[in-house]
Amino acid sequence: MNMQNNFYKKIGKKIRDARNEIGLTLEELNERTGLNLSKGSFSSMENGKQQISIYQLHRIANALGVPLNSFFDELENESDFPASDKKIINEL
C-alpha cells in the first residue's frame, strides 16, 4: 500500500469511528454536511479509496462535532502524509 492510500485509510477510519460513536448513518452524515455526495462516495472516503478535500473534511468535522485537527492525531510521522502535502505541512 502506498503512503497516500495509507493516509486516506487512516483519515477514513477516524471519520467512520466518529460517525459510529454518535450513531449516524452515511445518509445522515451526508445530510448534515450538505455535501450532497452519494452513500458510495462517503463509504469510499471511510474506506480510504477516495481522496478527501480539506473542504470536505472541514464539513465532515463540523457535522460530527469534532475539531478538524482530530483527524490528524496520530499522523505525526511525516511518512503518513502524501508526498504532495509534505511541503505544505512543513510550512505550517
Per-residue confidence (pLDDT) for residue 86, from 0 to 100: 55
CATH topology of domain 3-91: 434 Repressor (Amino-terminal Domain) (1.10.260)
Report how far apart, in Å, the C-alpha atoms of 55 and of each of 33, 48, 68, 79, 91 are. Answer: 10, 17, 10, 23, 19
- pLDDT tens-digit profile of 10-59? 899 999 999 999 999 999 999 999 999 999 999 999 999 998 999 999 99
- pLDDT of 79 > 70? The answer is no
Q: Where are the domains of the chain?
A: 3-91
- pLDDT of 80 > 60? The answer is no
Greatest mean pLDDT range, 1-5, 47-51, 87-91: 47-51
